[in-house]
Amino acid sequence: MKTLLLSLVIFISLSCSNTDDDNSSTTDIETPITPTLIGKSSISNPSTPLQNILITNQLQWDSLLLSMNEVNNVSSSFTETNINFSNYDIVAVFRNPISNSGSSVDITNIVENQTQRLVTVQYLTNGFNSNIAQPFHIVKIPKSSKPLIFQ
């Protein structure tokens, strides 16, 4: 009886320690998120502030579209403007207005791990001219309750 009880205690101890090891190894796993392009261009005569934002509802989306369309109808070139916020979030990045129509801001990667979603943003400059423009990149991603971190 003592041998059976001792064997059971050892078995349970080993099982618990293996479970902890398995959990710690999965927290670092990153899964790519494939975004859907909504719009990527520049705003001439920009009135939208420099920002990297996560849009999770229709009110936020309407406010952004209103701001972007203040001078020109920028959203007319978007692939879609009717977003189902029950299933999707919007990630939007804006660069400061710059004297350079060749500049861009790019969402180059989005990944998800156990605790958060990470968005990699890259700013490129390709020559200079006298035009003032504000580059932007807007994508749609599946809805999640995990926080979004820009890097």
* Phi, psi angles (nearest 5°) of residue 133: -145, 155
Residue 112's pLDDT is 96
Spatial separation of the C-alpha atoms in residues 105 and 123, rounded to whole Å: 5
CB atoms within 10 A of CB 35: 19
Residue 5's pLDDT is 47
Residue 38's pLDDT is 98
CB atoms within 10 A of CB 91: 23
Taking the chain (151 residues) in runs of 10, the rounded mean pLDDT of each run is: 49 48 62 97 76 96 92 93 98 81 85 96 72 88 96 91
User: Are 80 and 109 in contact, with CB atoms under 8 Å apart?
Assistant: no
Residue 8's pLDDT is 45
Going from the C-alpha of 101 to that of each of 85, 96, 125, 135, 147, the distances in angstroms are 32, 12, 9, 8, 33
Which of 61, 43, 40, 33 has the alpha carbon at shortest distance from 122?
40
Which residue carries 């004297």 as its tokens?
99
